[in-house]
Amino acid sequence: MKKSIKKFVRSLLVIGILGLGTVTAFAASYGDSTSGASTKESFQIKYDGAAWNYSSSKYKSTSFKYTRDGRTLLSKTAYSSKVTGSVWDDLAWGDKYTTYFSWSRGARR
> What does the pLDDT read at residue 88?
93
Q: What is the mean pLDDT of residues 60-68?
A: 97
Confidence of residue 92 (pLDDT cuts 50, 70, 90): confident
Sheet arrangement for strand 46-53: 24-31, 35-42, 46-53, 82-88
Helix (H) or strand (E) segment spanning residue 77: strand 71-78
Please tell me which residue, 58 or 94, carries the higher pLDDT value.
58
Give the contacts of 96 (CB within 8 A, at least 6 positions apart). Answer: 68, 69
The tens digit of pLDDT for each residue in 75-85 reads 999 999 999 99
Is the pLDDT assigned to residue 8 strictly greater than 70? no
pTM: 0.70
Alpha-carbon span 66 to 50, nearest angstrom? 11
